[in-house]
Amino acid sequence: MQKLVFGTDGIRGRVGVFPFTLPALQWLGSALGYWMIERYGKNNRRVKVLLAGDTRESVEPIKKIIIEKLKQFPIDVIDAGVIPTPAVLMLIKNDSSFSCGIMISASHNPYYDNGIKLFDREVGKLTPCDEQRICELFSLYENKEEVDRYEEKGSYLRWPESSQCYVDAILKLVPKNLGVGLKIVIDCANGATYQVAKEIFKALGVEVIVLHDTPNGMNINEGCGALHAEKLQAAVLNENATIGFAFDGDGDRIVMVNARGEVKDGDDVLAVLLDLKEYKAEPVVVGTVMSNSGFDVHLQDCKKKLVRTPVGDKYVVAKLDELDLLLGGEPSGHIILKNYLPSGDGILVAVKVLQSLQESKKWELNHFMKYPQLTISVPVAVKHDLENEPYAGILRSYDAKIDSGRILVRYSGTEPLLRVMVEGIDVAVTKNIAYELAQDLQQALNR
């Protein structure tokens, strides 16, 4: 029996491989149904769940299996179709009749992967206790153990107006005609933002050029979007645009490009947002271990402090909750505006960036100088414990080589990859150490 595991952002994997096989998805659908009744069905409350997906060809087959199993419970399933991941959370938060939401997406991964993200209406992404309970229930169904049966069955309803409800909700959060006089380029990654993003920017008065908004089920994230900003850079320069934004496949992250075609990451986004009145008074900004040291120095110059968490926006949200703060994020582009959503929302962040830049006029996006930083992704078959030898010894030897800088090595929470990050003052030294360390670890891990 294989074990169901939640990663840093839900359940994710290759379609056709556990847990994205027909039997495992059926067990998962049943586990989710039982968990929802157990979690939300107290005092005979009817459970209502919002279900959506991105543009992958595997979304509809997966959705069909989950719906079939959820309908075996007294659960009302509302199908929102294709909308961004953060739209699911925003819509359930705005409608108290919903208990939770499900998004079928593998975010920035290729089309042949997929994932299941779960949202609680009150807290956003699930707590570790909820994830553990779902895994326990999955094991029960996998082992065909007897569980409660329900005579009352669920229902299913499509909600074609969901995307317009999300558009309207975003537009209420920024001034009208915010984008009048601006020309921007957006890259929708052939993903979940391909319809709503252009509607929102056009409604704000922006002249908008849209890239990669023709999904075919297999081209999501393919050489485009937040992980591949080259085409956005070229378009911003060719169109003489004011700014460019790239989203990933499910719309929960953002990357910017300025008028000179320079790519700006999540640290730059946070620096821009700090010019907004609603965030200027924040004494602390939450980042991750990947946040650039240059951003840390910038915050110190602004009389503010950077608090780091492990990689993953759920850790950023947890720290924001703990410290009662509003703003945090990751260099990857997951930015949390806690006063609006306990989750990243690329489109919401983009319109808030425009609002900030309209006020500050700092369109060059050069708020601070970054330390040279290089991250290399190393494919691994098995995620060995890096505290064991020979891996620990390799890391110690490279730590001794870098005087003023940082080395961070960690496994991806969503892919079979080892991330090797090296940050330092000297570009050449940083680059050489990063490539040599990645090569040595790859050889050791794949022996």
Residue 64: which residues within 8 A CB-CB, separation 6 or more? none
Q: Read off the pLDDT of each residue in 38-64 and give the average, rounded to a whole number.
A: 95
Q: Which two tokens stand for residue 308?
A: 């780091």
Among the CATH numbers 3.30.310.50, 1.10.287.70, 3.10.129.10, 3.40.50.880, which is that of 373-445? 3.30.310.50
CB 106 within 8 A of CB 56: yes
Q: Does the structure show a pLDDT above 90 at 8? A: no
DSSP code, position 1: -
Taken in order 53, 56, 61, 62, the sign of the CA dihedral is: negative
Q: Looking at residue 412, what is its pLDDT?
A: 87
Q: Does the structure show a pLDDT above 90 at 182? A: yes
CB 264 within 8 A of CB 365: yes
For 334, the 3-state DSSP assignment is: coil
Rg (CA), the chain: 22
Specify burial of residue 283 (Cβ count, 10 A radius: 0-12, 13-18, 19+).
exposed
Residues 251-268 have pLDDT tens digits of 999 999 999 999 999 999
High-pLDDT (> 70) share of the chain, %: 100
Q: Looking at residue 401, what is its pLDDT?
A: 87
Q: Does the structure show a pLDDT above 90 at 146? A: no
DSSP code, position 2: P
Q: Does the structure show a pLDDT above 80 at 414? A: no
Q: Give the pairing of strands 11-14 and 100-104.
A: unpaired
Q: How many CA atoms lie within 13 A of 299 on its CB side?
A: 27
C-alpha 29: how far from chain center:
23
- Cα(431)–Cα(424) distance, rounded to whole angstroms? 9
CB 256 within 8 A of CB 264: yes
Tell me the catalytic residues: 107
What's the pTM? 0.91
Fold of 173-360: Alpha-D-Glucose-1,6-Bisphosphate; Chain A, domain 3 (3.40.120)
Residue 145: which residues within 8 A CB-CB, separation 6 or more? none
CB 82 within 8 A of CB 192: yes
Q: How far is CA 426 from CA 34, 263, 293, 399, 430, in A?
A: 55, 20, 13, 15, 6
Domain with CATH 3.40.120.10 in the chain: 11-162, 173-360
Residue predicted with more confidence, 242 or 45: 242
Q: Given the structure tokens 């929302």, which residue do they identify? A: 345
Q: Looking at residue 253, what is its pLDDT?
A: 96
Q: Which two tokens stand for residue 172?
A: 């209420």
Q: Given the structure tokens 């997951």, which residue do they identify? A: 334
The architecture in CATH of the region 11-162 reads 3-Layer(aba) Sandwich (3.40)
Q: What stretches of 50-119 show up as alpha helix (H) in DSSP? A: 59-70, 85-93
Residues 187-213 have pLDDT tens digits of 999 999 999 999 999 999 999 999 999
With bands split at pLDDT 50, 70 and 90, how would you rate the model's confidence at 149? confident
